[in-house]
Amino acid sequence: MSEKRMSDTESLMWRLEKDPYLASTFANITILDRPPNMDALYERMERTSILFPRLRRRVLPAPGNFGNPTWVDDPSFDIRYHVRNISLSEPGDMRQLLDLTTLLVADPFDRSRPLWHFIIVNGLRGGRSALIQKLHHTVTDGQGGVELSLLYLDLQRDPGPLPAIDPEVLNAVHNVSEPDSTEALRGAMTDSLRLPLAVLRQVRDVVSDPSLIGSLGTSTTATIKGLMAQLNEVDSSRSPLWTSRSLRRRLETTRVSYHDMRGAAKALGGTLNTSFITAVAHAAGNYHREMGAPVESLRASMAISTRNENSGSNAFTLARMLVPTGEMPIAERFSAVNEILISARSNASASSLDAIAAVSSVIPTSIVTRLARSQAETVDFATSNVRSAGVPLFMAGSQLLENYPVGPLGGVAFNVTLMSYLGSLDCGINIDEAAIESPTLLRESLSQAFTELSAHAPERDSASPSPKGNDKASTKRQRRWWRRSQ
């Protein structure tokens, strides 16, 4: 039942889309060495939809929007609606692909169908193709998307026949029906009563009129004040340049060696995540100086995975932090960011996302979106880091060459999401064009920051792993993990 009904966070993301600035759709652009076999891909994704049931299910709102929505079987599910095939016109360059992706991601999902699309794009230069994976965040999060890919990717071009699906799994998938009204109401009540009803009513009233907090009884004041402290963070974003917001999007990409970044992190006494945030902060500071508006600090958000063996499809929280962006050596910035990240991780459990999600079912959608927009306005840029595979992967006869994730903006100036694959860190930069006057400068600044940071990595000698990192022991471990996962 927990997987049939949305979690609080998923329900919140679903409701927030009443405001298009808060859309939670995310994507990934995968470059393929050649066009995939479409018949094989249709067959593989049909199988995947059985093993990952949310791909076959649509969203059923709770009665009167009281409680969390439910996932129900889509009786008209058609794999060819969700898996599509198009072609670029000449010259078939990366800029065309990125511009196409922004249009596809911005197009809202049909809410009467499952919330995902896989679009194969042929016609790239050099005989290559691309896969644009577009998913609504309620289906799964970034790391969940990587785990989903275990079901349709292979370790070789021709993997041979796949194991048969357990008949019980097939039977369960084909017997998912809409709950009757009594079951739906009971589920909605269960969602709404996880906090005492009196507390929820008072939260609703105080959110509507904060002056009422002084009239609350002592038994509930602490609970509500704790929530309100998180919801009413009013410290605005810091950038003097990135003040406007729009629905105009532009994508940029860049790449850096995974091993250089990891080596730099180890040499400087931190983690790969520290290297990533440091590079983005360094780039953001350089952008402001180049534009004639230097700034000493900016507020960033970071998605932190909370995934464990019992997690559902979404298991993450958001941490906010002030990062230094004034002019300084990148090693000094790394040290400062490392301390900031340690503190941010320890405080991530108290994020405003969780606070709003906990009470969103009893607050009108208009107020929930207003609260979320006010929270977004305190953040300059968003970041996320997703780990993928270190061995070559294939899909329907095509080899994956590069992976560029596209994270949702959620009302900030830009989102930088990093995905590791085959010895590289592939970086997708999702930009609000109203905020970022020069997307090219932002991309170049990030590439330069990666280069500066990588210079701190120790040099590899001939006995060290190759740039792709595919030493025999590591490759064998990753292949064993991948086979077990499938």
User: For the residues of 144-210, what is the DSSP string, one character each?
Assistant: HHHHHHTTT-BSSS---PPPPPPHHHHHHHTT--PPPHHHHHHHHHHHHTSS-HHHHHHHHHHHH-G
Report strand pairing: 398-406 vs 316-324.
Answer: unpaired
Hey, which residues does 250 pair with through a beta bridge? 431
Q: For the beta carbon of residue 103, count every other beta carbon within 10 angstroms.
A: 9
Cα atoms found within 13 Å of the Cα of residue 466, Cβ hemisphere only: 10
pLDDT of 220 above 50 = no
How sure is the predictor about 467, in pLDDT bands with cuts at 50, 70 and 90? very low
Note whether 320 and 347 are within 8 A (CB). no
pLDDT of 208 reads 56
pLDDT of 373 reads 83
pLDDT of 469 reads 44
pLDDT of 399 above 90 = yes
The DSSP element (H or E) to which 450 belongs, if any, is helix 439-454
User: 175 versus 107: which is more confidently predicted?
Assistant: 107
DSSP tag of 5: B
User: 159 versus 94: which is more confidently predicted?
Assistant: 94
Note whether 238 and 297 are within 8 A (CB). yes
Distance CA 284, CA 414 (A): 10
Report strand pairing: 116-124 vs 128-135.
Answer: antiparallel
pLDDT of 390 reads 83
Cα atoms found within 13 Å of the Cα of residue 20, Cβ hemisphere only: 10
Q: What is the mean pLDDT of residues 453-472?
A: 65
Note whether 297 and 285 are within 8 A (CB). no
pLDDT of 11 reads 87
Note whether 56 and 114 are within 8 A (CB). yes
CA-to-CA separations, 437 to 248, 325, 371, in angstroms, rounded:
12, 18, 27
pLDDT of 193 above 60 = no
Q: What is the mean pLDDT of residues 262-269?
A: 96
Distance CA 399, CA 155 (A): 9
Q: In 3-state terms, what secondary structure has residue 29? A: strand
- Tokens 């860049």 belong to 254
At a CB cut-off of 8 Å and minimum separation 6, what does 99 contact?
Answer: 251
Backbone angles phi, psi at 429, to 5 degrees: -115, 105
Note whether 399 and 392 are within 8 A (CB). yes
Task: State pLDDT tens for residues 328-382.
Answer: 999 999 999 999 998 887 765 555 555 667 666 667 777 778 878 888 888 999 9
Burial of 387: CB neighbours in 10 Å, binned 0-12, 13-18, 19+? middle
Q: For the beta carbon of residue 110, count every other beta carbon within 10 angstroms.
A: 10
CA angle 263, 266, 271 (to 5 degrees): 105
Report strand pairing: 398-406 vs 394-395.
Answer: antiparallel
**Highest mean pLDDT, choosing among 141-150, 162-171, 401-410:** 401-410
Note whether 405 and 218 are within 8 A (CB). no
pLDDT of 160 reads 87
| Alpha helix segments (H runs only) across 197-290 | 197-208, 218-231, 258-268, 272-290
Amino acid at 38: M
Peptide bond just before 36 cis, omega within 30 deg: no
pLDDT of 101 reads 98
In this prediction the pTM is 0.84
pLDDT of 126 reads 95
Dihedral angle at the C-alpha atoms of 216, 219, 220, 221, nearest 10 degrees? 60
User: 207 versus 137: which is more confidently predicted?
Assistant: 137
Q: Which of 371, 337, 366 lies closest to 353, judged by CA?
A: 371
Q: What is the mean pLDDT of residues 177-199?
A: 54
Backbone angles phi, psi at 92, to 5 degrees: 70, 45
Average pLDDT, the chain: 83
The DSSP element (H or E) to which 484 belongs, if any, is helix 472-485
How sure is the predictor about 12, in pLDDT bands with cuts at 50, 70 and 90? confident
Task: State pLDDT tens for residues 79-114.
Answer: 999 999 999 999 999 999 999 999 999 999 999 999
Amino acid at 234: V
Task: State pLDDT tens for residues 105-151.
Answer: 999 999 999 999 999 999 999 999 999 999 999 998 878 888 899 89
How sure is the predictor about 226, in pLDDT bands with cuts at 50, 70 and 90? low
